C-alpha cells in the first residue's frame, strides 16, 4: 500500500478564490455593504409593542379546575371570558395611554394590545357554577367539575 502525502498551502487556497473577487465582484460586494449600512443607519426602534401575553397557571383543586392568569395593567372591564363546549376562551385588551406627540422616549418596554387564548379543559365542567375574580392584575377562574367527571367511590360488599 502506498502512502500519499497531501500538502496544503494557505496562499494557494487564495488563488482558487481570487477569480471570484475580481473587480466586478468587489463592486457588487461594495453595493451590498452600502445597502446594509444605509438600512442600519435609517433604522428606528419600534416605540409601541403590541404583544400582550397573560401568563397562565391551570391546576385541579378539590373538585374544580382553577386557572390564574396575570394581566398587569388591564382593567376588569377589558376582559371577556366565554365557554364553548370544552374550550374556555379568554380575551383581554390593554389600551395604550395617551402620550403627547412631543414626548421623547428613552425606553418603552410595556406592552399594549389584545390578548386571546383558547384553553381546552381536561374534563367536563358545571357551566352554571363557573366563577371569576379579578384582583391586583390576577384573573382567577374556578370551574367546578361536572357530576359525570367526578370520581365515584364504589363500596365492596362481602358475600
76 or 14, which is more confident?
Answer: 76
**Three-state SS at 24:** helix
Length of the chain: 159
Residue with cell 410595556: 110
Beta strands per DSSP E along 28-153: 56-61, 64-70, 79-84, 87-94, 113-120, 131-135, 138-144
Question: pLDDT confidence of 123, banded at 50, 70, 90?
Answer: very high
Percent of the chain with pLDDT over 90: 37
pLDDT tens-digit map of 39-51: 766 655 444 344 5
Contacts of 47 (CB under 8 A, 6+ apart): 105, 108
Q: Kindly tell me if the per-residue pLDDT of 14 is higher than 60.
A: no
Between the CA atoms of 149, 151, 152 and 153, what dihedral angle is there, to the nearest 10 degrees? 180
38 or 66, which is more confident?
Answer: 66
Cα-based distances in Å from 58 to 84, 86, 121, 122, 134: 18, 15, 10, 10, 16
With contact defined as beta carbons under 8 Å apart, do 151 and 158 qualify? Answer: no
- Mean pLDDT over residues 133-157, rounded? 86
Whole-number Å distance between alpha carbons of 91 and 114:
7
Question: pLDDT confidence of 98, banded at 50, 70, 90?
Answer: confident
Query: Which pairing describes strands 87-94 and 56-61: parallel, antiparallel, or unpaired?
Result: unpaired
Cα-based distances in Å from 140 to 58, 84, 110, 125, 143: 10, 18, 23, 16, 10
* Average pLDDT of the residues of the chain: 79
**Continuous segment of H or E residues that includes residue 54:** none
pLDDT tens-digit map of 53-89: 678 999 999 999 999 999 888 899 999 999 999 999 9
Whole-number Å distance between alpha carbons of 137 and 140:
10
Output the pTM of the full model: 0.60
Amino acid at each position: 500500500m502506498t502512502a500519499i502525502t497531501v500538502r496544503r498551502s494557505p496562499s494557494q487556497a487564495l488563488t482558487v478564490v481570487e477569480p471570484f473577487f475580481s473587480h466586478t465582484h468587489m463592486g457588487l460586494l461594495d453595493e451590498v455593504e452600502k445597502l446594509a449600512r444605509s438600512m442600519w443607519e435609517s433604522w428606528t426602534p419600534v416605540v409601541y409593542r403590541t404583544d400582550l401575553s397573560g401568563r397562565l397557571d391551570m391546576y385541579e383543586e378539590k373538585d374544580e379546575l382553577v386557572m390564574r392568569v396575570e394581566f398587569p395593567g388591564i382593567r376588569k372591564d377589558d376582559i371577556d371570558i366565554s365557554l364553548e363546549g370544552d374550550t374556555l376562551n379568554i380575551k383581554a385588551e390593554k389600551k395604550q395611554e395617551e402620550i403627547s406627540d412631543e414626548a421623547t422616549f428613552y425606553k418603552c418596554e410595556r406592552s399594549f394590545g389584545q390578548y386571546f387564548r383558547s384553553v381546552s379543559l381536561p374534563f367536563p365542567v358545571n357551566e352554571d357554577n363557573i366563577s371569576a375574580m379579578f384582583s391586583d392584575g390576577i384573573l382567577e377562574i374556578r370551574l367546578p367539575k361536572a357530576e359525570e367527571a367526578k370520581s365515584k367511590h364504589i363500596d365492596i360488599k362481602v358475600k
